[in-house]
A and B are shown apart, each in its own frame.
Chain A
């Protein structure tokens, strides 16, 4: 089963994702998981959160040429309480980090994080010499998908979001709980 519009053969990397799911679980649980995951992955609503240049490419991804909405991500939500995924688009500096953490905490479960662009992944061009930039958003909140680039093209963001959908597809109620535990201890 491939993600809408993209054949499974195109996803040759990360084979282990689907394997994870195949390794034993009972029929009832997996059927429920399938239904829930189908719903979740096809209506991922991102939060309007943009700090710098990547935000413009995120806007471009929602614009007519690239059109996010084909994959169920059309509605940008201004309130974290209504959003499912936070795309960290841009540099996070020391002063912004507590705000980002609070935004993440305000989002309701299930929630996902996409680190978009070099700044959010590792500090990017500001990795050396800068005294105020956080070297990777993973020091603040747990990240699910990294989208490299400076800034990434809208296509790259789309691919990243599709990977996120694929990740959601393999989730199970059980693993979700484990995931939360592991994130709390961070």
Chain B
């Protein structure tokens, strides 16, 4: 490790190199950033990966399709439900299974709840990164209310494993609709509180406006998706462009901003929470009747071929690519994880900003490290 650092230091003689991470509270996990500095100004950021590489893609090759669900949960644990959905949709697409409306609607509601709780946690930790500890308490207070809904229906708090190929593990709890409606009523009142606390805060705006600007061209060429891409004006919402589950029957706006700085990335997520609530409100009263799962074969074998399915997680576009050779195990599975791609833009957008801004920029990209390393 030391020799490595020395090499970098020799290359750019005027600069000195510091190591951020792998154990650093604002890298949100075990990301290691080797930062070249000139005084306080960031000149180069080199992310080092692999500190949480668990070999999930390789593991998928030796387990069956329903078992993959439990590994995708642990990739991007904040959008666990959406990750599961991606695998399920890919398997269902390969088998040409017709999915009843009830399942589609419940999946959509669950996905949006997942998105809300993910953004809440992001809001909490982003505020904390910039020195506002109050955000942490407010954000996690409201997140527990979503987790309660998950717990009642799925049995798990965060890692739910509620989807399975062909439908859902169990039917929704009788209280589900009431609790979701209560939550939305409650959270509609809370979001202005978030705005008061952080969005309109002068110190916060000073630290986020104009910081880490990512232009539309760069966002497209780096492939930055999700709220970070949409903050640069890149219309990349998979829910809109390639609707899956029940997204084709709801009306919602794709939240777009055009500044591309840290503040727009922040505002996109805040607005997305509102949009998610709109989507849930349209669906929650008319969940169709029907079975909660389609009967699948006990051992699922996909026909030979290649299958790709993409979904919109809370962080961007997740793609699942499965190659099957006709066995009960996939031949190869590849995840196109949004965080890995978004991280690529970090060096570009944090150049020539202060090192304290690097924390803000990293926070605004909302990285989840196990999703990067898989």
Say whether A and B bind each other.
yes
Q: Is the CB of B52 within 8 A of A90?
A: yes
Q: Is the CB of A56 within 8 A of B62?
A: no
Least Cβ distance of B326 to chain A in Å?
A: 21
Q: Is the CB of A57 within 8 A of B137?
A: no
Contacts A56-B78, A56-B121, A64-B140 given; indicate if A132 touches B71 (C-beta within 8 A). Answer: no
Q: Report Cα–Cα, A105/B10, bound state, in Å.
A: 30
**In the complex, what residues of A have CB within 8 A of residue B74's CB?**
52-53, 125
Q: Is the CB of B51 within 8 A of A153?
A: no
Q: Is the CB of B141 within 8 A of A96?
A: no
Interface size on A, residues (CB 8 A): 34
**In the complex, what residues of A have CB within 8 A of residue B273's CB?**
none
Interface segment out of the listed A4-12, A25-33, A43-51, A135-143? A43-51
Least Cβ distance of A116 to chain B in Å?
A: 14
Tell me the nearest residue of chain B to A78, going by C-beta: B25
Confirm or deny: A93 has a beta carbon within 8 angstroms of a beta carbon on chain B. yes
Q: Report Cα–Cα, A52/B158, bound state, in Å.
A: 12
**In the complex, what residues of A have CB within 8 A of residue B23's CB?**
48-49, 80, 99, 103
**In the complex, what residues of B have CB within 8 A of residue A59's CB?**
121, 125, 136, 140
Q: Is the CB of A129 within 8 A of B30?
A: no
Q: Is the CB of B137 within 8 A of A52?
A: no
Q: Chain B interface: which size bin?
A: 35 or more
Q: Report Cα–Cα, A158/B148, bound state, in Å.
A: 18
Q: Is the CB of A52 within 8 A of B144?
A: no
Q: Report Cα–Cα, A151/B77, bound state, in Å.
A: 10
Contacts A51-B30, A57-B158 given; indicate if A99 touches B22 (C-beta within 8 A). Answer: yes
Interface segment out of the listed B53-61, B230-238, B332-340? B53-61
Least Cβ distance of A6 to chain B in Å?
A: 22
Contacts A53-B158, A63-B137, A99-B23 given; indicate if A132 touches B53 (C-beta within 8 A). Answer: yes
Q: Report Cα–Cα, A63/B136, bound state, in Å.
A: 7
Confirm or deny: B29 has a beta carbon within 8 angstroms of a beta carbon on chain A. yes
Against A, the Cβ 8 Å flags (1 = close, 0 = not) of B1-29 are 00000000000000000000011110001
Q: Report Cα–Cα, A150/B70, bound state, in Å.
A: 11
Q: Is the CB of A53 within 8 A of B52?
A: no
Q: Report Cα–Cα, A133/B159, bound state, in Å.
A: 20
From the candidates B24, B59, B70, B77, name the one contacting A130 in the complex (CB within 8 A).
Answer: B59
Confirm or deny: B288 has a beta carbon within 8 angstroms of a beta carbon on chain A. no
Confirm or deny: B210 has a beta carbon within 8 angstroms of a beta carbon on chain A. no
**In the complex, what residues of A have CB within 8 A of residue B299's CB?**
none
**In the complex, what residues of A have CB within 8 A of residue B251's CB?**
none
Tell me the nearest residue of chain A to B30, going by C-beta: A51
Q: Report Cα–Cα, A27/B331, bound state, in Å.
A: 68
Q: Is the CB of A65 within 8 A of B29?
A: no
Q: Is the CB of A63 within 8 A of B144?
A: yes
Q: Is the CB of A55 within 8 A of B29?
A: yes
Least Cβ distance of A106 to chain B in Å?
A: 10
Tell me the nearest residue of chain A to B70, going by C-beta: A125
Least Cβ distance of B288 to chain A in Å?
A: 33
Least Cβ distance of B140 to chain A in Å?
A: 3
Q: Is the CB of B50 within 8 A of A95?
A: yes
**In the complex, what residues of B have CB within 8 A of residue A151's CB?**
158-159
Confirm or deny: A3 has a beta carbon within 8 angstroms of a beta carbon on chain B. no
**In the complex, what residues of A have CB within 8 A of residue B147's CB?**
60
Confirm or deny: A37 has a beta carbon within 8 angstroms of a beta carbon on chain B. no
Q: Report Cα–Cα, A150/B159, bound state, in Å.
A: 8
Q: Is the CB of B24 within 8 A of A78?
A: yes
Q: Report Cα–Cα, A95/B141, bound state, in Å.
A: 35
**In the complex, what residues of A have CB within 8 A of residue B166's CB?**
none
Q: Is the CB of A96 within 8 A of B140?
A: no
Q: Is the CB of B140 within 8 A of A63?
A: yes
**In the complex, what residues of B have CB within 8 A of residue A56's CB?**
77-78, 121, 158
Least Cβ distance of A58 to chain B in Å?
A: 11
Q: Is the CB of B144 within 8 A of A65?
A: yes
Q: Report Cα–Cα, A132/B57, bound state, in Å.
A: 12
Tell me the nearest residue of chain B to A124, going by C-beta: B74
| CB neighbors of A among B128-157 (8 A) | 136-137, 140-141, 143-144, 147, 157
From the candidates A49, A60, A78, A130, name the one contacting B54 in the complex (CB within 8 A).
Answer: A130
Against B, the Cβ 8 Å flags (1 = close, 0 = not) of A62-92 are 0111000000000010101000000000110
8 additional contacts (CB under 8 A) given A56-B77, A99-B30? A51-B52, A51-B370, A57-B157, A59-B136, A63-B143, A93-B50, A126-B59, A132-B54
| Smallest CB-CB A-B distances: 6 pairs | A63-B140, A53-B77, A78-B25, A65-B144, A129-B59, A48-B25
7 A-B pairs (CB sep. < 8 Å): A51-B30, A51-B51, A52-B74, A60-B144, A78-B25, A93-B51, A126-B55
